[in-house]
């Protein structure tokens, strides 16, 4: 194992994509529970990075996140078929995962009104300068390695570590917005024009003087993780949770398998469960 290397998992992000990808590609087999598919991924990441610890971060319910007080339409995806198709499976698998992880030497984090991004940012600041690998496809995560050279982001969809961008991702989104999160930017400004503005601070200031700064300031608050109004409280919570002991409990693992009917885990138990016993 590498010394003090931590994996930080954006739980809903990876679980969401695991379920969705399995369904649209017809790879889901009724013999296997979605959580088994996710555990395969965890074991793969653990084998690749050899972490000393694994940390899983959950989002608060979307309707309650603090960013909704800044922008009511933030992450408004009610009309998205992509979401509705798997919402029930996502809820059921989340419940099973949160309980099973208690007995797999995994630390879990969730706070009222906080998104996983907020908590992962706080965790990365607490772990620095020790190395952390963030597992997520969320582009907001890229500002963490941009700020802390001890962190990197691994895209599980492409199975690669994501290159650090030239410009701070939050500054870019403050100008062009973020369609994935239903955040509008300045009209007519896309990535190419956004880069041109960031490359010339004088032109950026002239642009903001002409177009107004309201959108810029709002989007910066929505996207810059360092501006989370509860960052200090998040750090305290992270520090406290990291200090708590974790457990690997074979008996409770088997009980959870029975409770949630985790089909397929019994046949793959030898491959999927023992690797977690080595975590600290």
Q: Are 144 and 178 members of one domain?
A: no
Q: Are 59 and 198 members of one domain?
A: no
Residue 47 lies in a domain: yes
Domain count, the chain: 2
- Residue 31: the pLDDT is 58
pTM, two decimal places = 0.93
Residue 86 pLDDT class (50, 70, 90 cuts)? confident
Q: Are 12 and 87 members of one domain?
A: yes
Cβ proximity of 58 and 108 under 8 Å: yes
Average pLDDT score over the chain: 92
User: What digits encode the pLDDT tens for the residues 222-272?
Assistant: 999 999 999 999 999 999 999 999 999 999 999 999 999 998 898 999 999
- Residue 27: the pLDDT is 57
Q: Are 61 and 10 members of one domain?
A: yes
Q: Range of 146's domain?
A: 6-165+228-274
Sequence-separated (6 or more) residues with CB below 8 Å from residue 45: 7, 51, 133, 135, 154, 156
Cβ proximity of 96 and 88 under 8 Å: no
Q: Are 203 and 240 members of one domain?
A: no
Place of tokens 């013999």: 31
Q: Which of 136, 165, 151 lies closest to 45 in space, CA to CA?
A: 136
Q: Report the first-to-last Cα separation within the chain, whole angstroms.
A: 11
Residue 210 lies in a domain: yes
Residue 279 lies in a domain: no
Residue 242 lies in a domain: yes
Residue 1 lies in a domain: no
């Amino acid at each position: 194992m590498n010394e003090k290397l931590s994996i930080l998992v954006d739980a809903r992000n990876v679980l969401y994509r695991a379920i969705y990808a399995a369904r649209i590609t017809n790879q889901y087999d009724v013999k296997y529970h979605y959580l088994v598919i996710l555990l395969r991924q965890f074991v793969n990441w653990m084998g690749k990075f050899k972490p000393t610890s694994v940390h899983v971060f959950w989002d608060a319910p979307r309707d309650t996140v603090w960013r909704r007080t800044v922008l009511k339409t933030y992450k408004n995806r009610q009309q998205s078929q992509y979401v509705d198709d798997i919402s029930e499976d996502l809820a059921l698998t989340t419940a099973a995962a949160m309980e099973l992880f208690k007995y797999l030497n995994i630390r879990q984090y969730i706070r009222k009104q906080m998104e996983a991004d907020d908590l992962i940012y706080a965790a990365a600041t607490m772990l620095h300068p020790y190395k952390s690998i963030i597992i997520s496809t969320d582009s907001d995560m890229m500002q963490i390695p941009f700020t802390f050279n001890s962190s990197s982001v691994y895209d599980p969809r492409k199975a690669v570590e994501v290159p650090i961008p030239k410009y701070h991702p939050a500054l870019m989104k403050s100008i062009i917005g973020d369609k994935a999160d239903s955040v509008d930017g300045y009209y007519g400004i896309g990535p190419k024009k956004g880069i041109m503005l960031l490359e010339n601070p004088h032109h950026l200031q002239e642009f903001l003087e002409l177009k107004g700064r309201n959108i810029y300031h709002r989007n910066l608050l929505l996207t810059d993780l360092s501006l989370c109004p509860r960052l200090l409280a998040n750090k305290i919570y992270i520090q406290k949770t990291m200090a708590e002991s974790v457990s690997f409990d074979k008996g409770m693992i088997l009980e959870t398998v029975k409770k949630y009917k985790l089909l397929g885990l019994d046949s793959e138990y030898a491959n999927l469960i023992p690797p977690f016993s080595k975590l600290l």
